[in-house]
Chain A
C-alpha cells in the first residue's frame, strides 16, 4: 500500500477504517440476505457431512462425548472452505474485487470486512448445527465453553481462510486449491479446537483446557496480524 492511493483530502482515521470495514461486511450480509446461496449451500453441505459421519463411524452413546468434537470441527472446516471459496469467487467473477480495490480506503479494511462476513456465516452455520446435533444424538452441546471455543476457532479459521481464498481465486486451479492450501496451515488450530471442545464436553478440569485455549488465542493473534500485513501483497496490481 502506498500513500498515494489514499484520497489526500481525507487522511484515514480510525473511524473511517471501521466504517470501511463495516461497509464491506454490510455489503456481504445484504447480498447474502437477498440471494441466500452461500449460507444455504454451507448448511446443506454441513448436514450432509454429519449424515455421512453417522454411517462412517459408529456414534455409540458412550463414545459420543469423545468423538463429537472431531465430527463437529471437521464439519465446520469442510463447510467453511465452501463458503470461503464462494465469497471470494463472487467478487472475482463479477469484477467486484477491482471495484472494491478502487475505493479510497485502506485495503486491509476490505480484508477485515470480508473476513468478518465469513466469520458471521461460519457462526451462523454453527448456531444451526449445534441444536440439530444435540437433538439427533441426544447430547447437550450448549456449553458456554464450547461456544467460546467455536468463536475463537472459527475466527482463526476465517483469518487464514480469507487470505488464502483471495489467492486461490486468482489461480487457474482455484476450486481445488483452497482446501489444499488451507488445511496444512490450520492443523494447530483444529487440534487445539478439538481438544478444547472435548475438554469442555467431558467436563475436564480447566487446567487441562487452558493450554488449548491459550494456543487458540495465540494462533488467532498471530494470523490476524499476518493476514493484515500480507493482504496488500495479494491484491496489489
Chain B
C-alpha cells in the first residue's frame, strides 16, 4: 500500500491552521456590521462554502468530460470525490444562508434564484449518487456518472437563468449593485480582507479534501481488485 505523500500531510496541517486562522479573522478582525451585528459573520462561512461547492461542481463536470474522452477510470474517482465534497459544502452553504436569511429577510427560505438553484444542485448530486449505487459494473457506472454530471452541469445554469427570470431577492454582494435587494450591505476594506482570506483558506481545504478523497477512491479500487483475486 502506498504511503501517504509528504505534501498531503503538509497540506492537511496547513488546512487545519488556515481554518482556525480564518475563524480567528472572522471573529476578531472583521468589524461588526452596523445593522446585522454578529449574524453577519456567518456570511464569510456562507460565501466560502458556496465557493467550494462551485469549485467541486466545476471539477466534477471537467472530470466527467475527461472521462468520456479518455475512458480512464481515474477520472471517475476524481468525479465522485468532487461531487461528494461539493454536496457537503453546498449543504453547509444552504444552512448558513438560512441562518443569515432569518434575521435579514425574516424567513429561513425563499424561492430565490440562487437558493433554488443550490437546492436543485443538491438534488442532482443526490440523484447522481443513487444512480451510481444501482450499477455494479465499474466501467458502466463511470460512463453513466459522467453523462449525468454533464447533463446536470448544463441544466444548472439554465435553471439559474429561469428562476432569475421568475424572481430574485438575493443580494449580489460583488459586481452588479442591487440596492433594492433586501439585506445587502456595503463592505468595508476589513470585511473584504476577511472575505478573501476565508475564500483562500477554504480553497486550500477543498484541494486537501479532494486529494484525500481521490486517494481513498484509489485505495478502495485496490481493495476491490484484491477481493476479486482472493475469490478466484
**Contact A172–B135 (Cβ < 8 Å):** yes
Given A195-B166, A211-B165, A237-B140, A171 contacting B135 (CB threshold 8 A): yes
User: Chain B's nearest CB lies how many Å from the CB of A170?
Assistant: 7
Identify which of A163, A181, A215, A226 contacts B127 (C-beta below 8 A). Answer: A181
Q: What residues of A have a CB within 8 angstroms of the CB of B139 in the complex?
A: 237
User: Provided the pairs A163-B151, A215-B162, A233-B146 are in contact, do residues A184 and B134 lie with their beta carbons within 8 angstroms?
Assistant: no
B163: chain A residues at CB < 8 Å are 188, 191
Knowing A230-B151, A233-B146, the reply to whether A177 touches B166 (Cβ < 8 A) is no
Chain A residues with Cβ below 8 Å from B158 are 188, 215, 218-219, 222
Contact with A along B140-167 (1 / 0, CB 8 A): 1001101110111011001101110110
The size class of the interface chain B forms with chain A is 20 to 34
Interface residues of A in 146-199 (CB under 8 A from B): 160, 163-164, 167-168, 170-174, 177, 180-181, 183-188, 191-192, 195
Shortest Cβ distance from A195 into B: residue? B166
Q: Judge whether B123 is part of the interface by a CB distance below 8 angstroms.
A: yes
What distance in Å separates the Cβ of A118 from its nearest Cβ neighbour in chain B?
17
B136 part of interface (Cβ distance < 8 Å): yes
**Majority secondary structure, A binding face:** helix
Q: Is the CB of B134 within 8 A of A171?
A: yes
Do residues B166 and A191 form an inter-chain contact, with CB atoms below 8 A? yes
Residues of A within 8 A of B150 (CB): 226, 230
Contacts of A230 in B (CB 8 A): 68, 147, 150-151
- Give the docked Cα–Cα distance between A172 and B147 (Å): 18
A226→B135 contact, CB < 8 A: no
Residue of A177, A192, A215 touching B134 (CB-CB under 8 A): A177
Give the Cβ gap from B114 to chain A, nearest Cβ, in Å: 14
Q: Is the CB of A185 within 8 A of B162?
A: no
Question: What number of A residues sit within 8 Å (CB to CB) of B?
Answer: 35
Q: Which among A160, A172, A219 is the interface contact of B136 at CB below 8 angstroms?
A: A172
Q: Does A234 contact B (CB under 8 A)?
A: yes
Chain A 215-234 per-residue mask, 1 if CB under 8 angstroms from chain B, else 0: 10011001100100010011
Q: Is the interface of B mostly helix, strand, loop or mixed?
A: helix
Given A167-B144, A185-B152, A226-B150, A173:B162 Cβ within 8 A: no
Contact (A167, B148) CB under 8 Å given A174-B134, A181-B131, A185-B124: yes
Residue in A160, A191, A212, A218 whose CB lies within 8 Å of B151: A160
**Nearest A residue to B124, CB-CB:** A184
Q: How far is the CB of B90 from chain A (nearest CB, A)?
A: 13
A contact residues around B135 at 8 Å (CB): 170-172
Which residues in B have their C-beta under 8 angstroms from that of A167?
131, 144, 147-148
Q: Report the bound CA distance from A154 to B17 in whole Å.
A: 53
Chain A residues in 8 Å Cβ range of B151: 160, 163-164, 185, 223, 226, 230
**In contact, A188 and B159 (Cβ under 8 angstroms):** yes
Chain B, residue nearest A232 (CB): B68
B37 lies within 8 A of chain A by Cβ: no
Chain A positions within 8 Å of B124 at CB level: 184-185
* CB <8 Å contact, A180 and B130: yes
The answer, among A177, A184, A222, A237, for a CB contact under 8 Å with B120, is A184
**B140: contacting residue among A170, A177, A184, CB under 8 A:** A170
Contact: A173 with B134, CB < 8 Å?
A: yes
The answer to whether A233 touches B131, judged by C-beta atoms less than 8 angstroms apart, is no
Chain B neighbourhood of A195, CB < 8 A: 166
- Taken together as a complex, chains A and B put the C-alpha atoms of A187 and B151 apart, in Å, by 13
List 19 A-B pairs, Cβ < 8 Å: A160-B151, A168-B131, A170-B144, A171-B134, A171-B144, A173-B130, A173-B134, A174-B134, A181-B127, A181-B131, A184-B155, A188-B155, A211-B165, A219-B158, A226-B151, A233-B68, A233-B146, A234-B143, A234-B147
Given contacts A185-B151, A191-B163, 7 further A-B pairs with CB under 8 A are A160-B151, A164-B151, A177-B131, A185-B124, A212-B165, A215-B162, A230-B151
